[in-house]
Amino acid sequence: MIDLWQQQIKAAAAKGEKLAIKGSGSKLFLSPTHEGAALDTRAHSGIVEYDPKELVIVVKCGTALAEVEKAMADAGQMLAFEPPHFGEGATIGGMVATGVSGPRRAYAGAVRDFVLGAKVIDGKGDHLSFGGKVMKNVAGFDVSRLLVGSFGSLGVITEVAFKCLPLPKAEATRVFEMDSATAIEAMNRWYAEADPITATTWVDGELYVRFAGAAPAVNSAVQKRGGEALANDLDWWRDWREQRHAFFANAKELHRMSCKSTAPVLDDMATAIEWGGALRWVEADEANAAKLRYQASRAGGYASVWRGGASTHASAAQSLSEPLKEIHAKLKTSFDPYNVFAPLPLGEVAR
């Protein structure tokens, strides 16, 4: 398959044509443009190497995320950034190319923090290997992490090595009735006080906190903080991660605001909060969107449309300074001199 793709890329480069790298399409809604002949990553699929004792898994790009998660769960391990699928056939390649992480992100790290190495076919058709499969590697530029969130603009990510973590021994979710300001304060303080927290969400007047780790640690945290137990916690967090919760279903135009974790809530817009306060989902119409973006920049971050509105990418692109835009263009050209792949992603990327 790799040979075939290399030929396809070389041919497209020679003819000045474009290629559209695509997996299952589960995250296409995040991607601005897709032109040219399809290059379906699902043709290159399978787990290349997985010895749980190594705490490393090496996977081909077209492998279903579900398949990888199943193999890891069977061995008592996980991808610790809890990646959302946003669709049944979500692939590993798409997960890395979009760089989207789930609820555990604020506590365990993002996709890029677990990428140990990656192989990529660049726009000249060369198949290259960056990083490796060891926990630490500082040999040369950190290109494998540059690929995370690059939306296919630098090349076809063909294979990725991830660091695996053991599944927690114990897990418990507690629910606390509180307003958003109290919830933001609690999320930040409890985490700073070293509670074994792995997810926080505030929605509809309730704060959901997931504690996980060794049983005694989880038990002592639960006793200390109180709250109500959440019975179907696995399903609840899965639904939240996949954005099947009613909050998402009901939102007409949903914006994603990334900000410092203690930023105050905007009272006049329906909001859900996660990642200890650092990620806000805000329902805003066109009239409110400008205000939201202004508030986000005051809170040291960005807001952009996630679903249902105008392109997320146009607004965020304006936030890049001229020298940064130049650097982006130079990087793009370094990998893809003939512009075979999708254009530069200038949208806010959920890393």
Partner 1 sequence: MSLTFDRPSQTTVATTVEALRKDFGDRAVTSHAVREHHSHGEGMRDAGLPDVVVFPETNEEIASIVKLCNQARIPVIAFGTGTSLEGHLKALYGGVCIDLSRMNNILQVNAEDLDCRVQAGVTREQLNAEIRSTGLFFPIDPGANASLGGMSATRASGTNAVRYGTMKENILGLTVVTPDGRIIKTGTRARKSSAGYDLTRLYVGSEGTLGIITEIQLKLYGVPERISAAVCQFDELSNAVNVVITAMQLGIPMARIELLDEVQMDACIKYSKLEGFAAKPTLFMEFHGTDAYVAEQIEQMKSITADYGGSDYRFADKPEDRTKLWKARHDAYWAGMSYKPGNQAFATDSCVPISRLADCIAAAKAEIAKTSLTCMIVGHVGDGNFHVQISFNPNDAREREQAETAAAQIARIAIGMGGTCTGEHGIGIHKLDALKEEHGEAVDVMRTIKKALDPNNIMNPGKTIPMA
Binding residue for partner 1, selected from 2, 206, 220, 309, defined by CB under 8 A = 220
* Residue 286: both structure tokens together: 């066109």
Determine if 106 is a binding residue for partner 1 (CB under 8 A).
yes
Determine if 87 is a binding residue for partner 1 (CB under 8 A).
no
| Side-chain half-sphere exposure of 349, counting CA atoms within 13 A | 21
Binding residue for partner 1, selected from 27, 85, 104, 105, defined by CB under 8 A = 105
How far, in Å, CA of 260 to CA of 157, rounded? 31
Contact assessment for residue 295 and residue 288, using Cβ atoms and an 8 Å cutoff? no
Residues 6+ apart with CB under 8 A from 207: 175, 176, 177, 178, 183, 186, 187, 200, 201, 227
Determine if 302 is a binding residue for partner 1 (CB under 8 A).
yes
Q: Applying CB under 8 A, which part among 21-29, 60-68, 189-197, 228-236 lies near partner 1?
A: 189-197
What is the footprint of partner 1 within residues 318-347 (CB under 8 A)?
Answer: 319-321, 323-324, 327-328, 330-331, 333-335, 344-347
Contact assessment for residue 163 and residue 56, using Cβ atoms and an 8 Å cutoff? yes
Determine if 141 is a binding residue for partner 1 (CB under 8 A).
yes
Contact assessment for residue 316 and residue 346, using Cβ atoms and an 8 Å cutoff? yes
Compute how many residues bind partner 1; rule: CB under 8 A.
88
What is the footprint of partner 1 within residues 34-63 (CB under 8 A)?
Answer: 51-56
Determine if 123 is a binding residue for partner 1 (CB under 8 A).
no
How far, in Å, CA of 317 to CA of 320, rounded? 6
Contact assessment for residue 99 and residue 112, using Cβ atoms and an 8 Å cutoff? yes
Determine if 196 is a binding residue for partner 1 (CB under 8 A).
yes
Binding residue for partner 1, selected from 194, 231, 249, 287, defined by CB under 8 A = 194
Q: Applying CB under 8 A, which part among 22-30, 84-92, 283-291, 312-320 lies near partner 1?
A: 312-320
